[in-house]
Chain A
Amino acid sequence: MCKPNADEHSHSHHHGNGHPHTHDAEGQTTRVRVERDVLDKNDRLAEYNRGWLAGRSVLALNLVSSPGAGKTTLLERTVRDLAAEFPVSVIEGDQETDRDAQRIRAAGCRAIQINTGVACHLDASMVARALSELAPVSGSVVFVENVGNLVCPALFDLGERAKVVVCSVPEGDDKPLKYPHMFRAGEIVLLNKMDLLAHVPFNLDRFLDGVRAVNSELRVIPISALHGDGLADWYDWIRDQVARPQRAAI
């Protein structure tokens, strides 16, 4: 261990490790400055995915929410409604089972299931493998349904164009303030299960105030994935994204 009062010295000779470093007085330990972002590897892989997608003119959207907010129901309906406009495929992330991929395939869409096991989020390497297997055609849209979790997926860039936060009325109107990282990371919020608004204690103004406090630029579209209300606005938003040129990899 480095002694707190050790007489350290800087020097310029090389040990082959290529880092600025200092030794303690007895030369027993070497302090190396690293300054490396912990998420650096994931971020570099995400940029690789972004370039891969841009090169094929494929739009990828990362759907994030708590479990049970209605992501899969939303996607079942979305892939049916948009199938005539552009090719669509889905990457499903869950800790276990391929139930969601089966539901998406039953809706007539190509889907790949990733089981994350103990991990509570998708990361860029999982998505890189899934994209390579999925081989989405040029001009298509890939929806990535992340693991149901309002915390962890906020930190992991997958190479997507945007994070789409799905939140549902029965979860309560305090979600944006309780899970600010996710609402900060998102570009749009789909507030689902609006058909239940009359049956649960949910104050829409309080929810919107919370969203604004965390991320003043976040757009909220109230929807019912089950009944179709509000979905026209969601589809228009996707069309806008498809029409925008893909950002090239850095």
Chain B
Amino acid sequence: MHELGITQEVVAIAEEHAKGQRIARVVLEIGKLSGVFPDAVRFCFELCAEGTAVEGAKLEIVETPGRARCRACNNEVPLEKPFGECSCGCTDLEWLAGDELRVRELEII
């Protein structure tokens, strides 16, 4: 359950930017291939935010789909899980998107 530590880090980043003010909303991007489970982050968020500038803030999670490029035929391949196969049969894929895990935006009161 690495999501607990990850959510603590999200709250720490938000607090750092709050500079003593309160946070109303946190926009977090979690790629489908990041290995982080959005529901687990939602579950931890309220707990981690308690007693901080982030307490009571709304958590908005943007889930980015996984995309890769086939190293054999250069085709773009959508990825639902952290591995896959191109229609040409090749499994050697270069990830283009989906491994994001970042705080994108904050709304400060």
A and B are partners in one complex rather than unrelated chains: yes
- Point out residues on A near B: beta carbons under 8 Å: 1-2, 17, 19, 28-42, 118-121, 123, 151-152, 154-156, 177, 180-181, 184, 212-216
State the total of A-B contacts with C-beta under 8 angstroms: 95
Interfacial chain A residues near B17, Cβ < 8 Å: 17, 19, 32, 34
Docked-complex contact A121 and B2, CB < 8 angstroms? yes
Docked-complex contact B35 and A155, CB < 8 angstroms? yes
Instruction: Confirm or deny: B62 has a beta carbon within 8 angstroms of a beta carbon on chain A.
Output: no
Q: Mark B1-12, 1 if CB is under 8 A from A, else 0.
A: 110111001101
Instruction: Confirm or deny: B86 has a beta carbon within 8 angstroms of a beta carbon on chain A.
Output: no
Nearest to B6 among chain A residues (CB) is A38
Instruction: Report whether over half of chain A's contact residues are helix, strand or loop; otherwise say mixed.
Output: mixed
Among the interface residues B1, B58, B81, which one has the most CB atoms of the partner chain A within 10 A?
B1
Nearest to B22 among chain A residues (CB) is A29
Nearest to B5 among chain A residues (CB) is A119
Docked-complex contact B107 and A38, CB < 8 angstroms? no
Instruction: Confirm or deny: B69 has a beta carbon within 8 angstroms of a beta carbon on chain A.
Output: no
Nearest to A19 among chain B residues (CB) is B17
B70 → chain A closest CB, angstroms:
12
Docked-complex contact B107 and A31, CB < 8 angstroms? yes
Q: With A32-B108, A152-B2, A184-B83 as known contacts, state yes or no: A2 contacts B24, CB within 8 Å.
A: yes
Docked-complex contact A30 and B91, CB < 8 angstroms? no
Interchain CB contact (< 8 A) of A29 among B5, B13, B92, B107: B107
3 closest residue pairs by CB, A with B: A152-B2, A181-B35, A180-B82
Interfacial chain A residues near B108, Cβ < 8 Å: 17, 29-32
Count contacts on B: residues with CB < 8 A to the other chain.
32
Given A1-B25, A32-B106: 15 more A-B contacts, CB < 8 Å: A17-B17, A17-B108, A19-B17, A29-B24, A29-B25, A31-B105, A31-B106, A32-B17, A34-B106, A37-B102, A39-B6, A119-B4, A177-B83, A212-B91, A213-B91
Interchain CB contact (< 8 A) of A34 among B5, B24, B104: B104
Instruction: Confirm or deny: B88 has a beta carbon within 8 angstroms of a beta carbon on chain A.
Output: no
- Point out residues on B near A: beta carbons under 8 Å: 1-2, 4-6, 9-10, 12-13, 17, 19, 24-25, 28, 35-36, 58, 81-83, 85, 91-92, 101-109
A140 → chain B closest CB, angstroms:
30
Docked-complex contact A36 and B35, CB < 8 angstroms? no
A150 → chain B closest CB, angstroms:
11
Nearest to B100 among chain A residues (CB) is A37
Nearest to B102 among chain A residues (CB) is A37
A14 → chain B closest CB, angstroms:
13
A156 → chain B closest CB, angstroms:
7
CB<8 Å pairs between A and B, sample of 21:
A1-B25, A19-B17, A29-B108, A29-B109, A31-B105, A32-B17, A34-B103, A37-B102, A38-B6, A38-B10, A38-B13, A38-B101, A38-B102, A39-B101, A41-B9, A120-B2, A121-B2, A154-B35, A180-B82, A213-B83, A216-B92
